[in-house]
């Protein structure tokens, strides 16, 4: 019994630690062989999507290993087929084998043996393969205990196999990719919600009159909008008594609610693990059990699924811990949740500290009143103590907790005062510099938020040395700083400060023994009689800063009226886009998609074009980004799809090109709508076009958020008969994890890799990787942006099936496309 326990424990450790399938399968065999006789042993993988089998590991004294990928139907009647279809373990004795043969349930595959024992590998209720041992010796017979043992062992094998398969796919296809391409996605809506939530928490921390329990409840509600926080608590650490007390808790597990959240001496629970490490701890149940087996922590609750805890630290002092935990398999916390909760913890820590200072001030005041009655001579000392506490509290409320610089509130007060002075003294001149760090997000993403905080503190300290003594440097939040330069003798003084800051931030910084480069973009607004309030002047400096970014970053720009006019132009353009949608001014232009091996025309990509009655022809780059920002792109896309379907139906009726298809772009947010499949179906019904003649293109962004609704919509479109193309593949997140989860038919290789591909070996490697990946997943590939015969021939040599680009034809009006079809016929 001890040997079996040891072997199963080794199998569990193996599923956690093994990093390669080639070494994983032999170790599984070795471990199972220590539990039972397993001289003949094999592992089969079953792909339900493509209905194939693959013998990935095979040891047998009589039969040769079946090679390659095998059609599942070829193994109908085999014992492996029987286990997969039944999803049940099978112990086949000679008696049972004869009964199954007589009833035509199985047929003969391979050499006949004595006993055959096979169990299914199950993942989420689906069979992904089998594990089998068999005997050719009358002396070696298997029992029900062996069957149960192999079934239990298979449960440990599945998780590691799936993990290692995903890892192997990732390694095979990402070797040619750079690390930057894996970290370039950040959703705007998520960012805005995060900024709003952090701003709300920041507002709460400033309200010292707010009851602490109410504060914790409001923080809980705000966090719950960003992360599933159904089970949440905040515990404070008392260093003097080495105890942990639970200041706030909400938990759906109500049976032990009172006992679990009683104050306790520090022990070896998971909250204490966070305190000891002074860092964020993210754990699954399996990882919690591993810590328990190593003697690091206590045994976790049986119903726990995912656990996330962050320390509450202020000015280097450990205040406590904030924790989220999940009892539901549907809620699993990830690294993004961990970073978010860590960021929020800074605000919570500051709030706790402020309230401690407020409480300290209150108690000092009460003590002062008592001392007045008892000893008059000590009154001055007590008053001094009270004023110091008040000064500390005021400083904390008016300054940024990370850098110690004045915060937004203080800066706006000073700026309003400067504006008022300029109104009274016409000779008084000043300027506002608005700074934004250009590559700060890269530091945060690559080195972590702690490194980002260190960098912000260094920059804050250096900015104080660059400006003059009377100037004010403040931090607005994130990586944004503002500087008030007062009493200017000329504008050149402000330019000199801006240039010194630009030069300073172009130099590399050493953060955690690694060189990082950031740079800055600066917007400058000078005092002017039109300014009546600080918000307006700060807004203009912010606008100038964005113009500096647009012109290449690492520079400064001065605000002028044309910048404001650009904002007004955007508002005017938005109005015209709305009218153009109502007047149906947007029409499709068609770019041919060509089969590379025989130059046959197979379809068109429909591209939106706008011939405005007000503006004339408007280029897509001038209206598409604004349409996306304002949400108008959804109506525009649907208008283009319907017009394209109508045009293709006309070509079918008049030119007989029934096999031709049209491919239309859909903005990512379409796939977050539950009505998308019905909207597409309605267009097809109105135009009379068959679903298989329509293809829709989406970008990777749609696959990285709201995955459930996106997958549901894609499956509904597939069921309808519409094919799905992944556009611009290779330029975004490009995680291979989603390619086998989403029903994608075609990968469109981005034109940035194809343009002059014959001159760039690294581009050829990336294209070849994408094409091989697509072929392995039974997907087609379309090369975009082909501009020369050499590029087209090279893509064809790399097995890319289709292509489009100026080499074949530019996007054409419906009339020109009609002529093109006739010419290609």
pTM of this prediction? Answer: 0.42
CA-based torsion, 652, 655, 659, 663: positive or negative? negative
Confidence band (pLDDT; 50, 70, 90) for 7?
A: low
CA-nearest of 562, 527, 528, 563 to 542 is: 563
Neighbour tally for 487: CB within 10 Å: 14
Superfamily of domain 570-824: EAL domain (3.20.20.450)
Higher pLDDT, 176 or 772: 772
Task: Note the pLDDT tens digit of each residue in 400-448.
Answer: 889 999 999 899 999 999 999 988 888 899 999 999 998 787 677 667 7
Look at residue 717 in the predicted model and tell me its pLDDT.
Answer: 96
Segment holding 20, helix H or strand E: none
For residue range 558-596, what is the model confidence (pLDDT) as tens digits?
A: 988 777 677 677 778 888 889 989 999 999 999 999 999
From the options 3.20.19.10, 3.30.70.270, 3.40.50.2300, 3.40.710.10, give the CATH code of 408-559.
3.30.70.270
502: nearest Cα among 448, 433, 449, 588? 433
pLDDT tens digits, one per residue of 810-822: 999 999 999 999 9
687 pLDDT more than 60: yes
Q: Which of 418, 431, 422 is nearest to 494 (CA)?
A: 431
Does 120 have pLDDT greater than 60?
yes
Whole-number Å distance between alpha carbons of 203 and 206? 5
Mean pLDDT of the chain: 85
Considering only residues 495 and 370, tell me which one the structure prediction assigns the higher pLDDT. 495
783 close to 753: Cβ distance less than 8 angstroms: no
Place of tokens 């039944």: 86
How far apart (Å, rounded) are the C-alpha atoms in residues 387 and 427? 39
Residue 243 to residue 38: CA distance in whole angstroms? 54
Paired sense of beta strands 243-250 and 90-92, if any:
unpaired
Residue 780: both structure tokens together? 């087609």
Nearest alpha carbon to residue 800 among 759, 767, 757: 767
Please state which of the ranges 582-591, 596-605, 764-773 shows the lowest mean pLDDT: 764-773
The C-alpha atoms of residue 24 and residue 159 are separated, in whole angstroms, by 12
202 versus 122: which is more confidently predicted? 122
Instruction: In whole angstroms, give the CA distance from residue 209 to residue 708.
Output: 43
Q: What is the pLDDT of residues 170-227, one digit of tens each?
A: 676 555 454 544 434 445 666 677 777 777 777 776 776 777 788 888 889 888 888 8
Q: C-alpha angle 527/528/530, rounded to 5°?
A: 135
E strand spans, 596-681: 600-612, 616-618, 661-665
β-strands 480-485, 472-477 pairing: antiparallel
CA–chain centroid gap for 148, Å, is 40
In this structure, of 326-330, 706-710, 782-786, the range with the lowest mean pLDDT score is: 706-710
Highest mean pLDDT among 5-9, 155-159, 669-673, 702-706: 669-673
Average pLDDT of the segment spanning 326-347: 88
Beta bridge partners of 782: 748, 802
How big is the CA angle at 225 (ends 222 and 230), to the nearest 5 degrees?
90
Structure token pair of residue 217: 């409840």
Is a pLDDT exceeding 50 seen at residue 376?
A: yes
Distance in angstroms (rounded) separating the CA atoms of residues 43 and 133: 9
**β-pair type (746-749, 723-729):** parallel
SS3 content of the chain, % helix, strand, coil (to 5): 50, 20, 30
Domains 2-174 and 191-360 share a fold: yes
Residues 6+ apart with CB under 8 A from 316: none
Residue 104, sorted as left (phi over 0), alpha (psi -120 to 50) or beta, turns out to be left
Is 70 exceeded by the pLDDT of residue 78?
yes
Domain ranges of the chain: 2-174, 191-360, 408-559, 570-824
Number of other residues whose CB lies within 10 A of the CB of residue 125: 6
Secondary structure (3-state) at 44: strand
Element at 50 (helix H, strand E): none
Give residue 453's pLDDT.
92
Q: Are 419 and 408 in contact (CB under 8 A)?
A: no
Residue 449, pLDDT above cutoff 90: no
C-alpha distance from residue 408 to each of 140, 203, 472 (Å): 80, 12, 12
**Are the beta carbons of 709 and 732 closer than 8 angstroms?**
no
CATH fold of 191-360 reads Beta-Lactamase (3.30.450)
Of the candidates 50, 47, 73, 178, the residue with the CA atom closest to the CA atom of residue 779: 50
Length of the chain (residues): 825
The domain 2-174 is placed in CATH, from the list 3.30.450.20, 3.30.450.40, 3.30.420.40, 3.30.70.1020, at: 3.30.450.40
Q: Model confidence over 609-662: pLDDT tens digits?
A: 999 888 888 889 888 888 887 889 999 999 999 999 999 999 999 999 999 999
Residue 145 dihedral angles phi and psi, to the nearest 5°: -65, -40
**Helical ranges in 119-181 per DSSP H:** 144-174
Task: Kindly give, in sequence order, each residue whose CB lies less than 8 Å from that of residue 759, ignoring residues fewer than 6 positions away.
Answer: none
Which letter does DSSP use for residue 471 in this model? -
Pick left, alpha or beta for residue 67 (phi over 0 → left; psi -120 to 50 → alpha; otherwise beta).
Answer: beta
DSSP assignments along 382-419, one per residue: HHHHHHHHHHHHHHHHHB-TTT--B-HHHHHHHHHHHH
C-beta of residue 520 within 8 angstroms of C-beta of residue 502: yes
Q: How far apart are CA 660 and CA 821, in angstroms?
A: 10
């Amino acid at each position: 019994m001890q040997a079996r326990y040891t072997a199963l424990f080794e199998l569990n450790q193996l599923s956690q630690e093994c990093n390669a399938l080639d070494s994983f399968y032999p170790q599984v065999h070795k471990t199972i062989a220590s539990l039972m006789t397993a001289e003949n042993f094999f592992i089969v993988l079953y792909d339900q999507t493509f209905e194939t089998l693959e013998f990935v590991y095979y040891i047998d004294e009589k039969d040769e290993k079946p090679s390659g990928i095998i059609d599942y139907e070829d193994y109908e009647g085999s014992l492996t087929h029987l286990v997969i279809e039944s999803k049940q373990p099978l112990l086949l004795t000679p008696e049972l084998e004869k009964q199954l043969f007589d009833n035509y349930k199985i047929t003969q595959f391979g050499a006949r043996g004595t006993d055959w024992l096979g169990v299914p590998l199950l993942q989420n209720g689906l069979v992904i393969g089998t594990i089998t041992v068999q005997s050719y010796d009358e002396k070696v017979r298997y029992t029900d205990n062996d069957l149960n043992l192999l079934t239990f062992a298979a449960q440990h094998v599945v998780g590691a196999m799936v993990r290692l398969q995903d890892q192997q796919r990732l390694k095979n296809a990402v070797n040619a990719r750079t690390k930057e391409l894996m970290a370039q996605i950040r959703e705007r809506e998520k960012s805005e919600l995060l900024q709003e939530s952090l701003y709300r928490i920041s507002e709460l921390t400033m309200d010292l009159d707010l009851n602490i329990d109410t504060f914790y409840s409001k923080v809980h509600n705000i966090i719950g909008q960003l992360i599933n926080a159904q089970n949440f608590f905040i515990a404070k650490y008392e260093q003097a008594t080495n105890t942990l007390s639970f200041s706030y808790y909400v938990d759906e597990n109500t049976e032990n609610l009172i006992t679990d959240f009683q104050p306790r001496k520090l022990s070896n629970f998971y909250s204490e693990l966070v305190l000891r490490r002074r860092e964020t701890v993210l754990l699954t149940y399996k990882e919690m059990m591993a810590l328990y087996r190593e003697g690091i922590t206590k045994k976790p609750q049986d119903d726990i699924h995912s656990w996330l805890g962050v320390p509450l630290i202020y000015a280097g002092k450990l205040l406590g811990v904030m924790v989220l935990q999940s009892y539901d398999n549907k809620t699993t916390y990830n690294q993004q949740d961990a970073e978010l909760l860590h960021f929020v913890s800074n605000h919570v820590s500051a709030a706790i500290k402020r309230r401690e200072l407020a409480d300290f001030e209150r108690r000092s005041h009460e003590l002062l009143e008592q001392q007045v009655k008892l000893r008059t001579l000590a009154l001055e000392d007590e008053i001094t103590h009270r004023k110091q506490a008040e000064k500390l509290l005021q400083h904390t409320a008016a300054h940024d907790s990370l850098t110690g610089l004045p915060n937004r509130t203080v800066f706006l007060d000073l700026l309003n005062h400067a504006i008022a002075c300029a109104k009274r003294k016409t000779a008084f001149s000043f300027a506002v510099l608005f700074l934004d760090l250009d590559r700060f997000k890269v530091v945060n993403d690559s080195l972590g938020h702690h490194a980002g905080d260190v960098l912000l503190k260094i920059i804050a300290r250096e900015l104080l040395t660059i400006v003059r003594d009377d100037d004010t440097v403040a931090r607005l939040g994130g990586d944004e700083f503002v500087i008030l330069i007062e009493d200017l003798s000329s504008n050149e003084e402000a330019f000199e400060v801006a240039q010194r800051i630009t030069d300073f931030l172009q130099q590399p910084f050493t953060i955690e023994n690694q060189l990082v480069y950031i740079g800055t973009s600066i917007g400058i607004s000078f005092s002017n009689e039109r300014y009546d309030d600080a918000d307006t002047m700060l807004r203009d400096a912010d606008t100038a800063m964005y113009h500096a970014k647009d012109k290449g970053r690492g520079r400064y720009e001065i605000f002028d009226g044309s910048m404001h006019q650009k904002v007004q132009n955007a508002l005017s353009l938005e109005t015209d886009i709305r009218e153009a949608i109502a007047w149906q001014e947007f029409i499709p232009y068609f770019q041919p998609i060509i089969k590379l091996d025989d130059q046959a025309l197979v379809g068109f990509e429909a591209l939106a074009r706008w011939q405005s009655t007000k503006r004339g022809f408007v280029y897509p780059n001038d209206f598409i980004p604004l349409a996306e920002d304002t949400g108008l792109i959804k109506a525009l896309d649907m208008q283009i799809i319907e017009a394209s379907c109508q045009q293709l139906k006309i070509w079918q009726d008049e030119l007989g090109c029934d096999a031709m298809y049209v491919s239309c772009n859909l903005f990512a947010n379409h796939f977050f709508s539950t009505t998308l499949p019905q909207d597409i179906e309605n267009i097809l019904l109105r135009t009379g076009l068959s679903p298989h003649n329509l293809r829709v293109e989406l970008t990777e962004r749609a696959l990285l958020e709201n995955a459930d609704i996106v997958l549901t919509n894609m499956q509904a479109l597939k069921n309808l008969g519409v094919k799905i193309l992944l556009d611009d593949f290779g330029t975004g997140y490009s995680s291979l994890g989603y390619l086998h989860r989403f029903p994608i038919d075609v990968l469109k290789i981005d034109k940035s890799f194809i343009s002059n591909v014959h001159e760039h070996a690294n581009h050829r490697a990336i294209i070849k990787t994408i094409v091989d990946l697509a072929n392995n997943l039974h997907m087609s590939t379309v090369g975009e942006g082909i501009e020369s015969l050499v590029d087209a021939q090279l893509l064809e040599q790399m097995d890319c099936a289709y292509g489009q680009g100026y080499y074949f034809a530019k996007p054409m009006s419906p009339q020109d496309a009609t002529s093109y079809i006739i010419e290609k016929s």
